[in-house]
Structure 1
Amino acid sequence: MKLFKKIVCITLALGLALSIAACETGGNGGGGGGNDDDDYFGGGAGGKTVVRFYSFNNSETNAELKKALKDDFYVKNPDIYVQTEISTGSFYTNLLNDFAGKVEADVFGMEPGEIYPFLSAGYLEPLDNYFAASETVSLDDVWDINKAAYSYDSDTKTFGSGKTYAVMKDWTTDSMLFYNRSLFTADQLAMIEADDDGDGVADPLTFAEFETLCDQLLKRSGSTITQYSFLPGLAEAKVLAQFITNAGLSWFDPANGYQSTFTNPAVKEVVKYYYDILGKNDVNNVGSTFMPIFAQGKVAMIMGGLYCIEAYGLDSLDLGVAYPPVKDDSIECKPYTTGCVGFAISSRSKVKDAAFKFIEWYLNYYGAIDARKCNNFPAMKKYANDMLNPEVNTDPVRLRCTQFFHDSLSKAVVIDRNPYCSQASLESVEFAYTGEYLEGEMSFNEFCETLDYEINKRVRQAKQAE
């Protein structure tokens, strides 16, 4: 199968830059150099307390942050200096290496799917007492999903209760189904916008209905695709995981030591369903976002989060938003939040109070800004209400989509998390082998067996390292 490989490269580079800048702000380790521990763990410089912040930011976003720090944070906190550091490679691999070398930053980014190795090693500082002492931020004003994402009981090794080890900066349901209404017929719109329960929100398509639309909306001129029916807007492994969840399944089995389920017949059925759709759309590579192509009007449906509207200029389209499909009507739709990207503090930091001052400021300063930009929903619920105000959110497309995304938050779940094989590890495995399968170099059974083997290998190695 063939996928315009130049576009893959271009969209990968553009997509990563835009999506990471839009929805992720974390921290960067950046070990090495000749600094001593005082420097690396927030030692003073020029009479100020230095807080090192390791970030997913690109250079442009980092420059904007530095300006905001100068214009606002330093005015309010003249005794603190924030040293920003940008990730230049694999963020979490670098961060774990920095912890191993005792050169980690004071504050850094965190995601629900990546947090477990840091928790099990005792690397993260509980934030509950800092929030309790704060006069401007409260955990009670943070969306409840933060507890599911970042609260952890070390005795029972379960999420959703216990201490709070990170706080998200913003969030969205990341796997909602965007569709370009102008590419649909009246009958097709009636299918995707059906509202049988009359709640004002379209019902999720079943897998069968979604496949029907995918077949109808795919257009070719000879061997060339002129209109793609569906392309993933997220990493393909994230979209695959959403389909598996909406089939009432998981890609791992907690009752069986968190081992892979990719050789389970029911899971294999979903895997084949998903990749058959990608195959028909000539996808033979992975890891790329196709949002730029969707923004050009060449794709009928794609998955993404609220931030995509601003990041890719989607408000220029006749844009619709639907829930991700479910296997059948008996299964509850559970749209993922794949990011909930937020902040954590090193348990070894010598400047924890100053580090939390930065987090506290960020939640308030950028909460107000994000509400005006109508990007992701700020972590502080009080700012999110402004996004539903037509006097603040004056773009009619963004206002309509923001309302729909806001409604979807009540159904949101944190992406399935395997404590012994992170989401990034799943994506790396999928990235390594999906192209071979879609190119016909590997049979479907071989593909599933390879995924199963590689995931179980990582689970086994992680358990041995505990």
Structure 2
Amino acid sequence: MRKLIPSAITISLLFFTVGCRSDSNSKPVEITLSGWQSNPNEGKLLDQVIREFETKNPNIKVKREVINSQYMDVIRTRLIGEVAPDVFYLEAFEAPALIKSGVLEPLNSYIKSEFKLNDFESSLLNAFKRNNSVYGIPKDFSTLALFYNQTALKSAGIAQPPKTWDELRQTAKKLTIDENKDGKIDQYGMGIVSELPRQTFMIKAFGGKLVDQTDYAAFDSPEGLQGLQLVIEQYRRDRTAAQATDVGANSNSEAFGQGRVAMTLDGNWAIPYLKETFPNLKFQTTEVPKINDQQGTMIYTVAYVMNRQSKQKAAAWKLIEFLTSESGMKAWAKQGVTLPSRRSVLAEMKYDRNPIYSPFVAGAKYGTLWQAGETLPTIVTSFDNQFVSAMLGQQPLPEAMKRAQNTANREIYLSK
């Protein structure tokens, strides 16, 4: 998941004609691209791709501006005010609502056979389709895997990482350390992120579902609660798991890097961060342990989409086409923050053969896509508020999830 927490980039492009023809006497036109930036290195790689784009398109000038918070709020406000960018990033979980609202340009008429649309992972592409119309081209994806501190496992006499959730809980107990025996835990076995984008696959582990056929919340079922209860028990009963705030860290990745948690579920975006920020940390990754004898994880993807109100649609598509081409994708994918959405690029860069990245690649085949209809943004807020209260022991899980589902569905009903 983006890392599921964005900022925004606005790129102004000077384009020469709507037909994209070269004429040094023609007045250039301006289009914009908005997205987010996880770190400065990502921005540098994007700048390199843009410079290559400018070289191949000498009548295009690129200007980049970073906006640091509330990305979707900014995009929605601009769409309402008819001043939205021509092209912008869109996460899969936000896509259904924007597609239904009619603010996105269908891309089918722009896509030619040489673009090789079938090179994209179908699950990623389908996240931005409706009634056979393509509304976005996936630029990348991420999944979750189990990160583990190799030094901590070796010190505890653990030969290999857990392969099932039962093994994970037992391993976490061995890795939880109270050095002074004073009740203050120095190292927790497991790091936890309580938000719904990280917990949806737990709801589905025993047959639960996030929404019903009418897009109303449906996670408050015996099956859905069974998976979530595993998280609650590890946090409250076992006392072998911690949230980042419990150990004074700003993020799950930071808590792992600092050695405050010995294992954690995180996305591939954490790999460059950990290597750069904690160079002495010895860590490895493995696929998420099986739950109920089933493999599971989350899949997060982001696409480039076109504003239907754009007055420079030919130029906008030219940019999308370049950024999601094989060469454009390879240029930035080498950083490893996210994985390329084209199968050919993923194979060429050998992420599936890299031990630290291969668990994330494998997860794309069986993971749960972070998308569930138009109402998901409403459901997220209600779930997050109540689930964390259950983790903290403020209310039983069934009561918390019933309250969360009722609140979400009431808001969904009123919005229809």
- Normalised TM-score (structure 2): 0.82
Three-state SS of the structure 2 residue aligned to 1:224 is coil
In the other structure, the counterpart of 2:84 is 104
Matches within 5 A, 1:247-326: 247-254=206-213, 257-279=214-236, 280=239, 281-283=241-243, 289-313=251-275, 316-326=280-290
Answer with 275-284 or 298-307: which moved more: 275-284
Q: 1:407 aligns with which of 362, 365, 379?
A: 362
Deviations 1:361-402 (A, max 9, x none): 22245422345434432223332223228xxx9xxxx93222
Amino acid in structure 2 at the alignment position of 1:399: N
Matches within 5 A, 1:218-237: 218-221=176-179, 222-232=182-192, 236-237=195-196
Q: Is the 8 Å Cα contact of residues 284 and 438 (structure 1) preserved in structure 2?
A: no
In the other structure, the counterpart of 1:195 is none
Number of residue-to-residue matches in the alignment: 392
| Cα displacement (A) at 1:105 | 0.9
| Cα displacement (A) at 1:60 | 3.5
Amino acid in structure 2 at the alignment position of 1:243: M
Matches within 5 A, 1:347-362: 347-362=308-323
Deviations 1:40-93 (A, max 9, x none): xxxxxx922211111212683685367436632212112233454544432223
| Cα displacement (A) at 1:214 | 2.5
Q: 1:146 aligns with which of 116, 124, 147?
A: 124
In the other structure, the counterpart of 1:344 is 305
Q: Matched residues in 2 for 1:52 and 1:235: separation?
A: 35
Point out where structure 1 has 5 or more consecutive residues left out of the alignment.
1-14, 31-45, 154-161, 193-203
1:208–1:67 CA distance, 2 compared to 1 (3 A): closer
Three-state SS of the structure 2 residue aligned to 1:297 is coil
Q: Is the 8 Å Cα contact of residues 296 and 366 (structure 2) preserved in structure 1?
A: yes
Three-state SS of the structure 1 residue aligned to 2:106 is coil
| Cα displacement (A) at 1:288 | 5.8
Amino acid in structure 2 at the alignment position of 1:276: E
Q: 1:428 aligns with which of 359, 381, 385?
A: 381
Point out where structure 2 has 5 or more consecutive residues left out of the alignment.
13-25
Q: Matched residues in 2 for 1:59 and 1:183: separation?
A: 28
Amino acid in structure 1 at the alignment position of 2:221: N
Q: Matched residues in 2 for 1:61 and 1:345: separation?
A: 26
- Normalised TM-score (structure 1): 0.74
Q: Matched residues in 2 for 1:451 and 1:29: separation?
A: 39
| Cα displacement (A) at 1:108 | 0.7
Q: Do residues 113 (structure 1) and 74 (structure 2) align?
A: no
1:191–1:235 CA distance, 2 compared to 1 (3 A): closer
Q: Is the 8 Å Cα contact of residues 28 and 55 (structure 1) preserved in structure 2?
A: yes
| Percent of aligned pairs sharing the same letter | 18
Deviations 1:145-186 (A, max 9, x none): 223321221xxxxxxxx11111111123x2211112322258
Q: 2:109 aligns with which of 129, 136, 147?
A: 129
Q: Is the 8 Å Cα contact of residues 298 and 369 (structure 2) preserved in structure 1?
A: yes
Structure having the larger proportion of residues in helix: 1
| Cα displacement (A) at 1:316 | 5.0
1:306–1:175 CA distance, 2 compared to 1 (3 A): same
Q: Do residues 449 (structure 1) and 402 (structure 2) align?
A: yes
Q: Matched residues in 1 for 2:153 and 2:87: separation?
A: 46
Q: Matched residues in 1 for 2:10 and 2:414: separation?
A: 25
In the other structure, the counterpart of 2:338 is 376
